[in-house]
Amino acid sequence: MKFKMSIKKLCIFFAIAIFIYVLEQNYAKILDYKVNVLDKEYKKLADENNSLKIKRESILSIETMDRISKEKNLKKPYDASVINLDR
């Protein structure tokens, strides 16, 4: 009788251990999927950021600014009114 109780306890222990193992494997797959989704989103945003930097540089180029200022009949600003942006 004592032996049967030990086998039952051992079977319950293994069943719980297997259940926890399967749960951890499933959770690891879910986390891996989420990491891949976030990685793709990060790469997309990094590409978009690079293209926006290039666009900003092209807009802020001296030639472009001179052309736009001539088209709009703008005057050169005073030195005190110019603010430099950190890049």
Three-state secondary structure string covering the chain: CHHHHHHHHHHHHHHHHHHHHHHHHHHHHHHHHHHHHHHHHHHHHHHHHHHHHHHHHHHCCHHHHHHHHHHCCCCCCCHHHCCCCCC
Q: Is position 79 within any domain?
A: no
Tens digit of pLDDT for each residue in 29-76?
999 999 999 999 999 999 999 999 988 888 778 888 888 888 998 887
Whole-number Å distance between alpha carbons of 61 and 85:
14
Residues 6+ apart with CB under 8 A from 74: 68
Domain contains 10: yes
Domain that holds residue 36: 2-72
Q: What is the pTM of this model?
A: 0.53
The verdict on residue 35 lying in a domain is: yes
Please indicate, yes or no, if residue 81 is contained in any of the structural domains: no
In a domain, 49, yes or no: yes
With respect to residue 22, please indicate whether it lies within any of the assigned structural domains: yes
Q: Is the pLDDT of residue 6 over 80?
A: yes
Question: Where does the pLDDT of residue 82 fall: very low under 50, low under 70, confident under 90, or very high at 90 and above?
Answer: confident
pLDDT tens, position by position, 8-42: 888 999 999 999 999 999 999 999 999 999 999 99
Report the domain count for the chain.
1
